[in-house]
A = this chain, B = another copy of it.
Amino acid sequence: MLTDRQLVVFRAIIDDFIASAQPVGSRAISEKENIKVSSATIRNIMAELEEIGVLEKTHSSSGRIPSEKGYRYYVDHVIQPSIIQNDEVDVIRHLLQDGIVEFEQIVQMSAEVLSELTSYTSIILGPQMFETKLKQLQIVPLSKHSAVAILVTNTGHVEHRSFTIPEAYNISDLEKLVNILNDRLAGVPMVQLSTKLDNEFLLLLQQHIRDVDASFYYLKEVLLYDQPSKLYIGGKKNVLRQPEFHDVKKLYSFYSMMENEQEIIRLLTSEKEGIKVTIGNENKMEAIKDFSLITATYSFGHDDLGTIGLLGPTRMEYQKVIPLLQALSEEITDALYMFHNKYS
């Protein structure tokens, strides 16, 4: 799509703009070391690039800035994907492998370190546990009419929920039921719990419990309480570092969105595996029409587990950040894997 000449200039402009956030003039480009033509020539090339649609002007005599189409082209065709900062990856690796005590810490720390390293806002959608299996169910009675149900997975993840027991039933019924469930359900992948319960156990249970229905539904509710995928966000303050967001309206809509977990989860829940870059208006969500979002999936075993996202200005340091996200997603995958081995 672009000639070599155009490409060199285009890259110079976009890199300059990413660094400075200021429109780039022909003079500045012609003075770069690797460029040996005069500013007049650059101007001609710039006009071509504008014609093509990858550059824009902010006003008729201003320098050029990349258009969204320009960023798209840059991301798809210009970036060399393999430039990784080894020291940064080392930092991450050490962080994720030393002193991790809890499963979720891995993800939490990743979010923090990612926002630190990039000056953007990081969002990580916690593991979705497709491969996680039930280890143990437990009911701890609190009183005659209340109890806590606890569910432990083979990854050491613990879910719990308190509930009331209706007058008609007593705790020993429930405990009996839980014992049976424990025998049969230990080792079952979490995602299959619901169907297993519905298909195989309803009948079985009816033999043991006076009135299965209510207790059963209570428990089912507890067990399948749709655990919202946990969300870890780092560096929300970083939007304030970007000059393009020094604007109260934009900030308000950004921070409003950040308080709405559901919306963010929807944003990150991607069908596609691997790295995905969404630039400016490519985002369907109104609040981030001025942002770019890069997402990467991390995995564990065969199934996708979660998503890492990085939210910054369209003028993002794609060149640096995409490999970093790539690397981080691998590090998380590794860390999860190691953690899993350590505890099983």
Where the two chains meet, the residues of A that have a C-beta atom closer than 8 Å to any C-beta of B are: 101-103, 135-136, 138, 140, 142-143, 145-146, 148, 150, 152, 154-156, 158, 160-164, 235-237, 240-241, 246, 248, 251-252, 255-256, 258-259, 342-344
Q: Which residue of B lies closest to A259 (CB)?
A: B237
Q: Tell me the smallest distance from the CB of A324 to a CB of chain B, in Å.
A: 21
Query: Within the assembled complex, what's the spacing in Å between the Cα atoms of A142 and B342?
Result: 10
Give chain B residues whose Cβ lies under 8 Å from the Cβ of A148: 152, 156, 158
Q: Tell me the smallest distance from the CB of A67 to a CB of chain B, in Å.
A: 27
User: Given contacts A102-B162, A160-B158, A164-B342, are A142 and B146 in contact (CB under 8 A)?
Assistant: no
Query: Within the assembled complex, what's the spacing in Å between the Cα atoms of A241 and B241?
Result: 19
Query: Within the assembled complex, what's the spacing in Å between the Cα atoms of A187 and B235?
Result: 42
16 example contacts (A-B, Cβ-Cβ < 8 A) are as follows A101-B163, A138-B138, A138-B140, A142-B154, A142-B156, A145-B342, A145-B343, A146-B342, A148-B158, A236-B255, A237-B252, A237-B255, A237-B256, A237-B259, A241-B252, A251-B251
Query: Within the assembled complex, what's the spacing in Å between the Cα atoms of A251 and B155?
Result: 40
Our pick among B140, B145, B252 for the contact of A152 (Cβ within 8 Å) is B140
Tell whether, in the assembled complex, residue B161 and residue A101 are in contact, meaning their CB atoms are under 8 Å apart: yes
Query: Within the assembled complex, what's the spacing in Å between the Cα atoms of A116 and B231?
Result: 22
**8 further interface pairs, Cβ-Cβ under 8 Å (given A136-B140, A148-B152, A236-B259):** A146-B156, A146-B344, A148-B158, A150-B152, A156-B162, A164-B342, A237-B256, A240-B255
User: Given contacts A146-B343, A156-B142, are A162 and B103 in contact (CB under 8 A)?
Assistant: yes
Q: Tell me the smallest distance from the CB of A274 to a CB of chain B, in Å.
A: 30
Give chain B residues whose Cβ lies under 8 Å from the Cβ of A164: 342-343
Give chain B residues whose Cβ lies under 8 Å from the Cβ of A138: 138, 140, 150
Tell whether, in the assembled complex, residue A101 and residue B158 are in contact, meaning their CB atoms are under 8 Å apart: no
Give chain B residues whose Cβ lies under 8 Å from the Cβ of A246: 248
Tell whether, in the assembled complex, residue B236 and residue A252 are in contact, meaning their CB atoms are under 8 Å apart: no
Query: Within the assembled complex, what's the spacing in Å between the Cα atoms of A246 and B252?
Result: 11
Q: Which residue of B lies closest to A241 (CB)?
A: B252
What 9 A-B pairs come out closest when comparing CB atoms?
A156-B162, A146-B343, A237-B255, A158-B160, A143-B344, A240-B252, A140-B152, A148-B156, A136-B140
Give chain B residues whose Cβ lies under 8 Å from the Cβ of A154: 142
Our pick among B101, B162, B344 for the contact of A142 (Cβ within 8 Å) is B344
Query: Within the assembled complex, what's the spacing in Å between the Cα atoms of A164 and B143?
Result: 33
* A142, A146, A259: residue with the most chain B Cβ atoms closer than 10 Å: A142
Q: Which residue of B lies closest to A163 (CB)?
A: B101
Tell whether, in the assembled complex, residue A240 and residue B251 are in contact, meaning their CB atoms are under 8 Å apart: yes
Tell whether, in the assembled complex, residue B146 and residue A140 are in contact, meaning their CB atoms are under 8 Å apart: no
Query: Within the assembled complex, what's the spacing in Å between the Cα atoms of A163 and B102?
Result: 8
Q: Tell me the smallest distance from the CB of A145 to a CB of chain B, in Å.
A: 8
